[in-house]
């Protein structure tokens, strides 16, 4: 193996939306995380949406999987998010969950720093 040449990757923005709980009665069954990434393709802004479903059960039945995916699609419909520019995934991996938590925490820190800078204007 060897390292290849650098590839330029440019994002215009990364936006984290508030988490949305999926409820069954009074019980929270899962959270929907929505991350939006803006990037340029041929000098035109494109947006990609990532809908991540973090569920609390250890193993999901096929029916429950479908229910969660349908709830994510309903969320997309309510928010007018095009399925064409969207990835919907179930978060069923502890490493992926830890990574997502770090990304969201870092975004909160960055947002806080930007907000503090702009308050002095």
* Domain assignment of residue 120, yes or no: no
What does pTM read for this prediction? 0.70
* 2 inside domain: no
pLDDT > 70 fraction of the chain, expressed in percent and rounded: 74
119 located within any domain: no
In the chain, which residue ranges form alpha helices assigned H by DSSP? 62-78, 94-119
- Kindly report, residue by residue over 76-108, the tens digit of the pLDDT: 999 999 988 898 988 776 666 676 677 666 665
Burial class (CB in 10 A: 0-12, 13-18, 19+), 70: exposed
11: helix, strand or coil? strand
75: containing domain: 17-111
Give domain status of residue 87, yes or no.
Answer: yes
Sign of CA dihedral 47, 100, 51, 74: negative
Give the total number of structural domains in the chain. 1
First-to-last alpha carbon distance for the chain, in angstroms, is 51
Element (DSSP H or E) covering residue 4: none
Please check whether residue 4 lies inside any domain of the structure: no
Specify if 96 maps to a domain: yes
pLDDT 10s per residue in the chain (121 long)?
A: 988 876 666 678 888 888 899 999 999 999 898 999 888 878 788 888 999 898 887 788 889 999 999 999 999 999 999 988 898 988 776 666 676 677 666 665 555 554 454 454 4
For 78, left (φ over 0), alpha (ψ -120 to 50), or beta? alpha
Q: What's the CATH code of the domain at 23?
A: 3.30.300
**Residue 8 belongs to some domain of the structure:** no
């Amino acid at each position: 193996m060897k390292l290849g040449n650098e590839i330029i990757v440019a994002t215009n923005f990364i936006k984290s939306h508030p988490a949305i709980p999926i409820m069954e009665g009074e019980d929270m069954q899962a959270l929907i995380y929505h991350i939006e990434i803006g990037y340029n393709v041929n000098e035109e802004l494109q947006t990609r949406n990532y809908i991540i479903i973090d569920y609390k059960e250890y193993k999901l039945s096929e029916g429950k999987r479908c229910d969660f995916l349908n709830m994510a699609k309903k969320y997309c419909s309510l928010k007018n998010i095009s399925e064409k520019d969207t990835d919907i995934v179930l978060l069923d991996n502890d490493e992926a969950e830890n990574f997502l938590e770090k990304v969201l925490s870092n975004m909160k820190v960055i947002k806080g720093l930007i907000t503090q800078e702009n308050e002095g204007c």
